Structure formats: structure tokens, C-alpha cells
Copies of this chain bind each other. A is one copy, B any other.
Amino acid sequence: MRHNNKINCIDCENTNCFIKKHCLDNIEQSVRIHENKFVNRYTKNQLIFMEGNFVDSINFIQSGRVKVFKKGAFGKDQIIRLISDGEIFGHRGLSDAEKFSISATSITDTMICSFDKPFFFKLLKSTPELTFNLMLYFANELNHGENKLRDLAIFNVREKVAKALITIIAAYGLNKENEINHAHELSRQDIAELVGLNSNQVTKILADLKEDNILETDNKKIKIINLKKLKEIVNI
């Protein structure tokens, strides 16, 4: 992690970003944002912050991919979100929590824009549009979270694996060859941690799905043959 030449938000190509969308109306504020922005670069698999750390920042992905996860008992982690360009994270720290309740690591090479909490609060107070849209965004995230909760409570192992694959596809898409995990960043263990399984179970179900001509595996590579059938497993 090291400081880097900062891109000004105005020049940033990331149109998905909350700051870009809602905070650059007046010049004065744009300047203050640039002054208060920290930009850090992370290489693959670096820890960005850890559960228990003092909440000192709100973060946005300028480019790259990040996994947000929680530590559970017996080293059984749970991946909460897979996110990419423009998405905000660490925002649970906006509530009265003093410490991060989650950890975050980079999956690929990643650039993160951060603001310290007091500045971000000032920004929220002076930009109702930002606050409003953040509120809507959170309402939507709550929706997703509740769907996930129900799914985890009800799904069997096969359905959970299908769900995990679909989650990855929703977050990062498929490449031209219909493969997920393009750069082979996500292990069986990661897939397992998305849905509360262990890597062994994932491997076995992947073999079953291969048998059923739903996908093909070649080491870490997973090629989707029949996305429709995969989705049918989880009823979508």
C-alpha cells in the first residue's frame, strides 16, 4: 500500500461512483474532495482493512476487485460481498460502530479512493443528494442481503454452489469464452465461503455439475456451458 498520483474525480472514468455522480456540482466542493481524498494502490490479495480495525475511512473502488468478508469461528470465514469499480465499502462503519465488522482484501490489482470519516460526514451533511442516494442504495442492499439470508437458510449444498457461481457471475461477469474467474483469482475455498460450505463440497458439486453438462472445469477455470440450467437450480 502506497500513496499514488491522485486522479481528480472530474477526470475519473468511473461513472458508477457516488462521488462522481452526486458531489461535483460546485467547484469549491470538488476542490475540497480532491484535497481530502486518499488514493491507494493494492496488488492482488492484499489486506485493505481488517475486522476490528478502528473505522477511519469510507472507501470507493476506483478500479479493480475487492472481497468483503467476516471472520467466523474455526477459521470459517464468510464472504459478504464481491465488488468492483465504483462500489462503496466500509460504509457499515458510518453507523455508530467504532470498529470495522468486516475485513476487505483485493482480489485483483486495485485502486481505492478513501475519505476519512469526519470529512465524509461533512460531505454528507452538505450534499443531501448524496445522502439520499446512499440511503436508497442501502435500502437496496438490505433487500439483497435478505434474499441471501433466505437462500442460505433453505438451499442444499448443490443449490448453494449454484448460487455462489451466479453471485460471482453477477459481480464480475463472464468473459468471451463464457468463463468465470477469468484471472483465476477465486479458489474453491472462496466459492465455499460465499455460501457457508467447505472447499471439498464445492469441488464435489462442481464435478456433479460437469457431469450434468452445466459447466466444465479445468483446474481453477470454470466455463459455463448452460447458464439457464444453472439458474434453474436456484429457481431464477
List A residues at the B interface (Cβ < 8 Å).
Answer: 70, 72-73, 76, 78, 80, 91-97, 101-102, 124-125, 128, 131-132, 134-143, 145-150, 152-154, 195-196, 235
Choose among B80, B94, B146 the residue that contacts A135 (Cβ–Cβ < 8 A): B94
Q: List 16 A-B contacts (CB under 8 A).
A: A70-B147, A73-B235, A78-B153, A80-B149, A91-B139, A92-B142, A92-B146, A94-B136, A95-B143, A101-B143, A125-B128, A134-B135, A138-B139, A141-B142, A145-B145, A154-B196
Choose among B70, B94, B125 the residue that contacts A146 (Cβ–Cβ < 8 A): B70
Contact partners of A136 in chain B: CB under 8 A: 94-96
Q: Is the CB of B95 within 8 A of A153?
A: no
Interface centre among A93, A137, A150 (most CB of B within 10 A): A150
Tell me the smallest distance from the CB of A142 to a CB of chain B, in Å: 5
- Rounded to whole angstroms, the CA-CA distance of A147 and B148 in the bound complex is 12
Q: Is the CB of B154 within 8 A of A73?
A: yes
Which B residue's beta carbon lies closest to that of A193? B153
Tell me the smallest distance from the CB of A51 to a CB of chain B, in Å: 11
Q: Is the CB of A146 within 8 A of B143?
A: no
Tell me the smallest distance from the CB of A159 to a CB of chain B, in Å: 9
Contact partners of A124 in chain B: CB under 8 A: 132, 135
Q: Is the CB of A95 within 8 A of B147?
A: no
Tell me the smallest distance from the CB of A79 to a CB of chain B, in Å: 10
